[in-house]
Structure 1
Amino acid sequence: MYKNYFKRFLDLILSLLGIIILSPLLIAIAIIIKIDSKGPIIFKQKRIGKNKKHFNIYKFRTMRTDTPKEMPTHLLSNPDAFITKTGKFLRRTSLDELPQLFNILKGEMAVIGPRPALWNQDDLIEERDKYGANDIRPGLTGLAQISGRDELKIEKKAKLDGDYKGNITFNMDSKCFLGTIISVFKSDGVVEGGTGSLPKGDD
């Protein structure tokens, strides 16, 4: 009942309320980004959605416009060189993710679910296929995000996404939601560079 009906209804209510209540903050961030550096306010990137359907995820732009396109931050040799001054704060506090409330409202994402992989993150997509984690809506946050976030290796992250897929309940979503709030305030598991790929050899 919750998984098939109430979860989506709750996503609609929470995303709509979030957009309305946080609108002054969204406007303020947009102005600061425009003042801080040249380029668009919103950054769009192709991601993997439910049943591996592609969609454009929305984020506040945190990097310079000359940053290599369609490349995960962890694959950049020196990601800090591309992140703007405002971007460092937005990424550390996860405020750059707020525009995804519109992705949730559109039905492309859920509040809780596996974080959407880049369209070309074949290693993560393949690992998630083992657990059926690509068959559900990706989320603004999820079980992996409260269990290590950027510090997790691909295998562990995909396994946690699979664990969530097999236990989509109100209690699990509440646990992830509250855990995310705590993690954001503590900036737990935020790592720029060097993570998020399968190991090439034995550790």
Structure 2
Amino acid sequence: MVRTRATKVETPSLAREDVYRLQLKIRPEDVPKTAFRTRYGHYEFLVMSFGLIIVPAAFMSLMNGVFKPFLDSFVIVFIDDDILVYSKSEEEHADHLRIVLGLLGKQKLYAKFSKCEFWLTLVALLGHVVSKEEVMVDPQKIKSVKNWVWPSSVTEVRNFVGIASYYHRFVKNFASIHTHLTNLTKKEISFE
């Protein structure tokens, strides 16, 4: 996220693309392993279906291979099938988009246009909002923390500490706050 913020430009410079996981073909020798039978017949998947545990890892492996020369230069790929393209200027961004879309096309992977966002000035990403000026907490996340129900068990305190820790860099003196919260998870503390 810091890398995307560092690419300051006076014009929109971010693009976000969704690539369908369903396009990941199953190796021919593995197709029979996906077989299932219904009263209507015998079926085998030729492409990975949603819900398979291996799909996110396979997607990341494929995308890392496709974009290897450009990763962290102007492309970031996320496990939820997002591709973030960031640039320093409009001209550079147009070139970067051509490269990314061209590489996807060569691999017969296609971004669904209706799910793509181009020339953004800011983008919501992993619970943050990233712009050319800064990285900040997503306002929706702030709202959920503000509305957090007062913890009544060790588990609930741990849940809160987890979300709070994720945003520690935005909270002044977080370490001292964290210590007090963590002390609430000790065995001798009881919740009533």
Q: TM-score category by the smaller chain?
A: under 0.3
* TM-score, scaled to structure 1: 0.24
* TM-score, scaled to structure 2: 0.25
Question: Is the radius of gyration larger for structure 1 or structure 2?
Answer: 2
Structure having the larger proportion of residues in helix: 1
